[in-house]
Structure 1
C-alpha cells in the first residue's frame, strides 16, 4: 500500500476540505502519518491521534472518514484500525509484535495456575506465551486447540497434553469445527485460558472468527474459571461478535492499564483485572 503523498486521493473535485485550517499538503502529511501509526500498532484512538498531531478530534475524525472511504483503514467507534484484510496479521508478524508484553501476560497467568490443574488453552500468540510460562509446572492436564501451544508443551514430561482434533485453520495451527467443539465437551477444566480480538462497550470480549468463537464458548462452558489474556491493542476497538458476557470472565490480564471508564465497567461486571509490567 503506497504511502506517498501523491498516492492518496484526499478529496474529489467539489468536495469540502477535510480540515478548514489545513492546507492540502498538511492534510496529506497528517493522513500519511495516521496510516503509518495504524499500520505499526494495528489501531489508534481519535483522542490519541488528536493529541499527537495537536489538532481537534473533529479534524482527526474527518481524516479517518476520508481514509476509510479510500479503503486505506477502517473506522471504529472512537478510532481507526487497519482494514480487516490487514488487521488479521500473518502469524509470523503477530508473534513478533509486543513480545515483551505477551511474555509478561503469560507469567502473570501462570501464577494463577497450580500444579495438577486441568486447563484449556485457546489459540493465539498471547496464549502461546501462557503455554511457555507454564512449562515449569508439573502434573498439568492441558487440552488445546492450538497446535503451536501443543508443540511448546510437548517436551514437558510433567505435563499431559491433549489436542482436540478438528479442521486446521491458518498458519498458527488453530483447530475448529464440530469435531473440536464435541471433543471439548468431554472435559472439565479448572481454567479456560482464552484470547480475544476486541472489546465491546460493556467489557465483553469479542472476536472476528465465528468458528473460533464457538470453540471458545464450548471451553468456557466446561471451565470453573476463565482467564482472559490479551495485550493493550485489543482494547482499542470492537471485533465482529461477542465471545461471552463480561460476568463470565473471572480474570483479565493485559500488559497496560486500561482506560478508567472501561476499568470501572469491568469491575462492575465482576471482572478482576491485572496488568503485567514489562
Structure 2
C-alpha cells in the first residue's frame, strides 16, 4: 500500500479507508494509523463516522466492510448449494466458453464448478477430472464426456475427496485448464481454504495444469481462511461477477491476471453480457 503524500481531510480519509478495505477485506487500527500517519483516535473517529453510515463494521482491533464478512463460509454442501445461485450460474456460463474440444479440464470441488457441467455437453473428446462427487454424478447426463475421479479421503461436508491419494492421482494427468474454486479470496492473501488437505490437491492441480482460472463470486472477495493456496499472481485468470468493484478488477489486472466478468441476470435482462477486461 502506498501511503498518501499529503495530509487528508476527513472525507478523503473515509474514502481511503473504504478503498483499502475493498482491497484487503479487513484492516487493523495499527495498519490505518501507520498508513495515513494519523493518531489512533483519528482513525477511531473515522471508523465511527463510517459505521454510522452503515459502510463499515468494527472487529476486535480493526475494521471490515459492513457488507462483506471475513468469516469462513459454511462448509456443508447442501447449504452452500443454495447461496448466490444467479452469480454461480453466470460465472459458470462465462467460464465454460474457455473450454474447447479435446481438452482435459479439472473441475475443483464446489458448487460453482459444478455449475459449469451443463455447458460442457456439446464438446467433443472432452475429459473432465474432478475430486467432486456431485460433478461426477452431474456428468452422467453427458456420456460423451470422459470423467476421471481422483479418489482420496472423502469429506462428507463438501461431497468431495482430498489428501495425498487425490493429489498423487492429479500429478499423473496433463491438464489443459484448471477451474479452481474457493470460498475465500482477497488481494493480499490470494486464494485460501479452511482445510489443509484441500490445499494439497489444489496445488497438485495447479502444478499439473497449463492454465488456471479462479471461479469465485464477488461476495467471497475480501475474505480469508486459515490456509493459503496461492497468491493471485499465480493464476492465469479470474472469472467473477460484475459486482466486484472496478478498482479491484484493475488491481488484479496489474498482477498480470486476466479478469472475465459475468453480468448478473438482472443486468443481463437489460442487454448487458459478460465481458473480458
Equivalent of residue 247 in structure 2, options 221, 238, 261? 261
Deviation at 1:205, TM superposition (A): 1.9
Distance 1:214 1:89, change over 3 A: closer
Distance 1:132 1:235, change over 3 A: same
Q: 2:127 maps to which residue? A: 141
Deviation at 1:244, TM superposition (A): 1.3
SS in 2 for 1:96: coil
Q: So what's the TM-score if we normalise by structure 2?
A: 0.71
Equivalent of residue 184 in structure 1, options 137, 146, 170? 170
SS in 2 for 1:104: helix
SS in 2 for 1:243: strand
Distance 1:145 1:200, change over 3 A: same
- Report 1:89-108 matches (<5 A): 89-108=75-94
Give the number of equivalent residue pairs.
218
Distance 1:267 1:62, change over 3 A: closer
Q: So what's the TM-score if we normalise by structure 1?
A: 0.70
Deviation at 1:199, TM superposition (A): 1.9
Deviation at 1:76, TM superposition (A): 6.7
Deviation at 1:252, TM superposition (A): 0.7
SS in 2 for 1:148: helix
Q: 1:57 maps to which residue? A: 50
- The answer to whether the Cα contact below 8 Å between 2:104 and 2:175 also exists between their aligned partners in 1 is yes
Runs of 4+ aligned structure 1 residues displaced above 3 Å come to 58-65, 75-80
Deviation at 1:78, TM superposition (A): 4.1
- The answer to whether the Cα contact below 8 Å between 1:166 and 1:179 also exists between their aligned partners in 2 is yes
CA–CA separation in structure 1 for the residues paired with 2:140 and 2:169: 20
Equivalent of residue 81 in structure 1, options 49, 63, 69? 69
Q: 1:164 maps to which residue? A: 150
